Structure 1
């Protein structure tokens, strides 16, 4: 992933402060191996664009830090170097489109989510949010924010806001977001009202999307019923066409006889009348003759005077 990747970290600041004119000149402390490797990794990343070599250099420097910092190096210097190495490593992984490995790669050097530096955690949240997978950071940021040691850091409120905007709201965790804003002491009253307003807007949008999905589902069901009804009508139409075409395909004489019988049945057949009995016998005889003629393709209906 080359576009939109996190910006590489700059080389660490000088460990010794600037000399004042009244101070005697002192020898600068010897740079640690990790600091030298950090400068090399940043050069490989920015100048040479060799992301694989930059990542390997960061890993080698982190292993050197794990063995222990030199005695003459300040305690906070190694932590800053380690944080900068992780930033360069994250950038290298992102450039190689291996951003899914970022979280596991960082945690192998810090062991626990709550031990992540604020700068590294912020970079991870931005990266996974940009790649539309904020759920990967949900438990990590949750553990970091709940740690008492992190709640006193100056970056705490910024990370709470980032967690709200990039993780909780996109995932629809509105109740958790509201609880976090209400219980957090990092917000002022005005900032808390702004955050609650953003959560309320997200909740209204979620309800609107839910009602829209229900309407779409209802329309789909109605459309399915209409489609079934139309299919039934088409089947009945095809059946009617088949019956009509089959009827008109019969010989003309057979069709005429069938129509004649139908007319006789409608016009003269009255089974309740005693005078209709001779006619019924004659009709049964005619029907018997017609059935014999129809059943035989060569049969001819004899004509009697």
Structure 2
């Protein structure tokens, strides 16, 4: 996604906190190989914009972390280093327009969604939401939020709100959203009211769209013949609504004249006898008399028996 401005590393860096070459030095005086590779990957991503090399460097660092010696050597900083490697790697994938691989790439190192760091999970939600595929994160975030260990983290409330706004509401999962807000102990009263108000607005929008969707659903369930007629019926309905709105937008006199002309056309071209339409036929006669009174003919044709 190097040339695609729709998703860039800039907003992700602000959230993910890509480590600069100077930051790991604060953690350990003599950086082990994994930390050195993290520095190299961050420089490749931010400074050199070499995204494939940054991704390959992150994967090389992860392979090094898999060894027991490296895990013991990093002891207290291994979790932070792993998280930072994931942040750099997912940003590199996004820049190469390989954002669909981000979730599977991250999970191959953490195995289960419950073990994802909050920072990595937040970036994944934002990325898939920005690319308009929030459904990819539905099961992953739900599993993470249900984990008891994660519920004690300080980032839990923010991730609940992010999941609500970026995943559940766009997908129309309103009942799940209400249950999540009611069960979230990390929400304060004000935050809970704001979340419930957002759900209420989403319900109103869904109710406005519901009548049309119910009609489509009924026609779809009626059978294959109705499914073939469905596009035609929708088109006719739109044409009718457009004609009615245009008709009512006309002035009263023009509307009355249009109605009279329409009645004349119906009477003139109806193959059935005019007596079958007494009201329209009388209206046509009245209109004809008014026309003769206002515009008398210059001459009349002789009437033959």
TM-score normalised to structure 1 length:
0.65
Partners of 2:62 and 2:70 in 1: how far apart? 14
Of 104-113 and 71-80, the range deviating more from structure 2: 71-80
Give distance in 1, aligned partners of 2:130 and 2:96. Answer: 16
* Secondary structure in 1 matching 2:8: coil
Task: Identify which of 20, 24, 45 aligns with 1:11.
Answer: 20
Q: Shift of the alpha carbon at 1:78?
A: 1.1
Q: Quick check: 1:220 aligned with 2:233?
A: yes
Counterpart residue number, 1:39: 39
Indicate the SS of the match to 1:150. Answer: helix
Question: Where do 5+ consecutive residues of structure 2 fail to align?
Answer: 220-229, 241-268, 270-305
Residue 60 of structure 2 is matched in structure 1 by 60
Whether the 8 Å CA contact 1:32–1:69 is kept in 2: the answer is no
**Is the Cα contact below 8 Å between 1:41 and 1:55 reproduced in 2?**
yes
Matched, 1:30 2:30: yes
TM-score normalized by the length of structure 2: 0.65
How far is the alpha carbon of 1:88 from its aligned partner?
Answer: 0.5
SS of residue matched to 2:88: helix
Once the two structures are TM-superposed, the CA of residue 10 in structure 1 deviates from its matched residue by 2.0
For residues 71 and 222 of structure 1, what CA distance do their matches in structure 2 show? 65
Greater helix percent: which structure?
Answer: 2
Query: Are 1:162 and 2:171 counterparts?
Result: no
User: Post-superposition shift, 1:221?
Assistant: 5.5
2: CA distance between counterparts of 1:206 and 1:71? 51
Q: Does the CA contact (< 8 Å) of 2:145 and 2:160 recur in 1?
A: yes
- Count of residue correspondences: 220
Q: List alignment gaps of at least 5 residues for structure 1.
A: 18-27, 228-236, 238-305
C-alpha contact 2:24 2:31 (8 A) present in aligned 1? no
What is the aligned partner in structure 2 of residue 208 from structure 1? 208
Contact 1:11 1:84 in 2 (8 A): no
- Aligned CA distance change for structure 1 residues 204 and 71 (closer, same or farther; 3 Å): closer
